[in-house]
Amino acid sequence: MTEVEAFDPALLPDGLVVRSARPVAGGSANPVWWCELDDGREVVVKVARETQPDLSEIEAEGLAALSAQGGLATPRVVTFSPRALVLEAVGTGELPPGDARFWADAGRAVARLHAVRSERFGWQRDGWLGRFRQRNTWDADGHRFFAENRILSFLDKPGAEAALDADDRAGLERVCAKLRELVPDTGASLTHGDLWRNNLIAGNAGEPVFIDPAVSYVWPEVDVAMMLFEGDVPDSFFAAYQELRPLHPDWREHARILHLREWLSMVATFGPDPERVPKIRAVIRDYA
């Protein structure tokens, strides 16, 4: 099967005709394609799974909020259908460069985003994080919101049930019970929500462009912690962020606890894993 044959044009909104398509690196949860339309335009198409009928609409809303409210550079939404989100093609679609200026610009952009505040945690509708619903029910209590909607919500997923035993589950519940002692309540900011390094690309002028959000109002440290998740983010990002928005002195320690959300979403998706499960257990050992 060729790459173009693997792309299903029937998922596109009416009126769009694809001349050629090639897969884009990444897309572990949903396939992504770089397409040339019959009118010569280049677009990026993100294809949702059948179980995510509103993913495209929700992601389009999230990108619009990050741009209009938070001032982030995001790809323009061309159109969407129940199974496909069509975005303008930005830059080359490749991973971000390693130069300090790019990352410093990104750090300041995220700090400005986090200046958009809310009295409550959550969002006007539930979203998606990878293949799973991200519960965003409004809550004035940030610790309760994070515990219930960003940690414990993954424990009933088949992949997590296969990866974690009863001691693990009890340990995670103890961490959640102690969350007020472990992570400071810095209030609710507008966040990208899935801000790891591969969700930044270089735009046409080399500027940082933000993609694939899971938007909500939550602690700003959630976004900053995600930039540590896979490493390889230069210190210039964090230094520039702190020029505008100083972080708690222990923010890197808090990041280990905040990373539970991502580790749990991954084991929920992929099941037992020799790298991810030990990291979850290390957090339980150190903080429960």
- pLDDT tens-place string over residues 162-191: 999 999 999 999 999 999 999 999 999 999
pLDDT at 152: 98
- pLDDT tens-place string over residues 41-82: 999 999 887 788 899 999 999 999 999 999 999 999 999 988
Tokens 């940082």, residue located:
208
pLDDT at 27: 58
Q: CA 108 to CA 115: how far, in whole Å? A: 11
- pLDDT tens-place string over residues 248-276: 999 999 999 999 999 999 999 999 988 89
Tokens 């507008």, residue located:
190
Q: Which residue has the higher pLDDT, 84 or 27?
A: 84
Contact 224, 238 (CB under 8 A): yes
Q: Is the pLDDT of residue 1 over 50?
A: no
Q: What is the mean pLDDT of the chain?
A: 92
Q: CA 175 to CA 229: how far, in whole Å? A: 19
| HEC per residue, 4-30 | HHHCCHHHCCCCCCEEEEEECCCCCCC
- pLDDT tens-place string over residues 191-245: 999 999 889 999 988 899 999 999 999 999 999 999 998 878 999 999 999 999 9
Q: CA 248 to CA 219: how far, in whole Å? A: 12
Where residue 247 falls among pLDDT bands split at 50, 70, 90?
very high
The burial class, CB within 10 Å (0-12 / 13-18 / 19+), for 206 is middle
pLDDT at 285: 97
- pLDDT tens-place string over residues 5-44: 477 888 887 778 888 988 887 656 788 999 999 999 999 9
